[in-house]
Structure 1
């Protein structure tokens, strides 16, 4: 699949269109509560509850995952046991992150597409034999973990960074993308990066995001100017761009990969300074879904060799550059043993 480039998405008016589209499609993608029968959750009958060990020091959360396996287990069996229209992989995604998971209004039907969506379809193809056997559920940034824990989705593929705190609540696959936090601000702004120029500036982050956690910690530790205002949080990361365009905040802090896509949507903003963290996106699943974690890791081994680069070229090369070396995660390590 080749990306169809979007035109004329800059400015507040266009973003209003995005918000309207997001609302309308959210209505088309209703939240389904788990009924405890395995049809909408990840577990289903017979899935054992358990406690899984995580490296106590947790210096490298991206390595805290299970080794790959192509074997089925109770979680995958429950997914495959769904019948009729319900025989689909249920995945939490974004639908308004340009080039990651979004609906292009210029395309007939406005189907979901993007880098994350390509990966979802590959997972569905391997597990269910049909790349279209997916029920997409649009979820806001701050609902990614609850959606997994409550069984509303089998997994989340939504530019979700692997962190030690999140490993307490969900399991992750090996990394499928590398990025880092960056500052996004108007081109005319005096802000130069994640530095002293953020003093007396209002900064927007998404609630529950790694950016929000980073800023909160840095402000307490004195690594961020004491006068920086980080009180503005939103449910969805894209809402920060709208706040920036409306002049309600001075800057946005988010993953550089997402920020670059937002800068492509609005030519009046740009990335300020280099990335100041190193982070890795992973596929998030229930903590007890060991067989699904192992299967996704097996799929990722094959996907990195055949599919990842093509998807990067289609969707991200226009915003992140043709050289994908800095975005490709390192060879995975599987330190979690149980």
Structure 2
């Protein structure tokens, strides 16, 4: 329709009414956009995405970009009680226990030894730390309810309140800091390749080309492989699609010949190699990472208390960090614990 014809149709009260109606509709539409956010399309899913969702995603991306040295993003130590600790202490009777998510299949970390003579009780380095925390908070090292959780359920268990904390060889990283709070580091490790001794795989390098690699769902290993494949550090032909709920399931798949290699924390890989003489670590660790105790984002008093317990645990020469290392990890990681000791903690998180 030409401009002159449009102006002709709008002459008189009928034209004025049409214009008023159009303006009213435009105002209503604008208000709806203000309230609900205009919709764009998510390129990956085709699902409409509102401006508010875009803003939240942008905020999270910016937080991740600004996150440096995640192992330092924790609160300063304190021995004081707070609301989270009081709630734990106020549990009655048999329920007056610290509820902790752990592993029961990680040799030397959190596992049941049928030959221990202790009715298959959980034991290992992580378990020692849990007992230490329970003793400090509740005055009884055995006041613990252990909950075995798979690798991919560590964060959901914390967020849903099914556990007070997770002590399960859990790496502190920027992505996880968006969902949970961490203590200061209690162990240093790094990602490493595990493969059969007869395998031509030599490490985290071009020998992984055309090989199938297994990682645990939601693990640091898997996110590292995804990122490195995009940047070219990992060969494009490396198949990283195989993921499992529990990291130990990767070892089983390796033993069955269903995958060519496993990528996981070197500390865990060394324990798995000790269980099976046909496999070994290939190459050196290609990352530097730190294990921490994970808790709810708003459990500030518990985070501070655990950090104080870790200070004491590291300094205890008779029954602390070094003693636990000697008992559980020296056989797989060597007698010298210096490479596994985390650096002196820094507490950069203010609130």
Could you say which residue in structure 1 is the equivalent of 2:222? 212
* Alignment partner of 1:71 is 2:98: no
Q: Partner residue of 1:312?
A: 325
User: Residues 251 and 295 (structure 1 numbering): CA distance in 2 closer, same or farther, change over 3 Å?
Assistant: same
- Structure 2 distance, partners of 1:227, 1:334, is 41
Work out the CA distance in 2 between the residues paired with 1:95 and 1:278.
25
The reply to whether residue 149 of structure 1 matches residue 159 of structure 2 is: yes
Give unpaired runs (5+ residues) of structure 1.
Answer: 1-53
Q: Which has the larger radius of gyration?
A: 2
Secondary structure of 2:243 counterpart: strand
Which deviations, in whole Å up to 9, do the C-alpha atoms of 1:178-209 show, x marking residues without a partner?
00000000000000000000000000000000
Task: Indicate conservation of the 8 Å contact 1:55/1:64, yes or no.
Answer: no
| Residues 33-52 of structure 1 mapped to structure 2, 5 A cutoff | none
What residue ranges of structure 2 are gaps of 5+ in the alignment?
1-62
Alignment partners' CA distance in 1, 2:231 and 2:305: 40
Residue of structure 2 in register with 1:225 after alignment: 235
Cα distance in 2 between the residues matched to 1:321 and 1:67: 32
| Partner of residue 117, structure 1 | 127
TM-score between the two structures when normalised by the length of structure 1:
0.84
> Would you say 1:185 and 2:182 are equivalent positions?
no
**CA deviation string 1:43-73 (max 9, x = no partner):** xxxxxxxxxxx78621200000000000000
| Matching residue of 2:44 | none
Q: Which residue of 2 aligns with 1:332?
A: 345
Out of 106, 114, 119, which is 2:115 matched to? Answer: 106
Per the alignment, in what secondary structure is the counterpart of residue 342 of structure 2? coil
Structure 1's 56 and 336: CA in aligned 2 closer, same or farther, altered over 3 A? farther
For residues 129 and 196 of structure 2, what CA distance do their matches in structure 1 show?
A: 32
The CA distance in 2 between the partners of 1:55 and 1:310, in whole Å, is 36
What is the root-mean-square deviation of aligned Cα atoms in Å? 1.1
Deviates more, 1:56-65 or 1:133-142: 56-65
- Report the alpha carbon displacement of residue 105 of structure 1 after superposing the two structures with TM: 1.2
Relative distance call for 1:289 and 1:203 in structure 2 (3 A) is same
Instruction: Tell me: higher relative CO, structure 1 or 2? Use CA pairs within 8 A at least 6 residues apart.
Output: 1
Q: Which deviates more, 243-252 or 217-226? A: 217-226
Shift of 1:318: 0.3
- Secondary structure of residue in 2 paired with 1:249: coil
Aligned to 1:59: 68
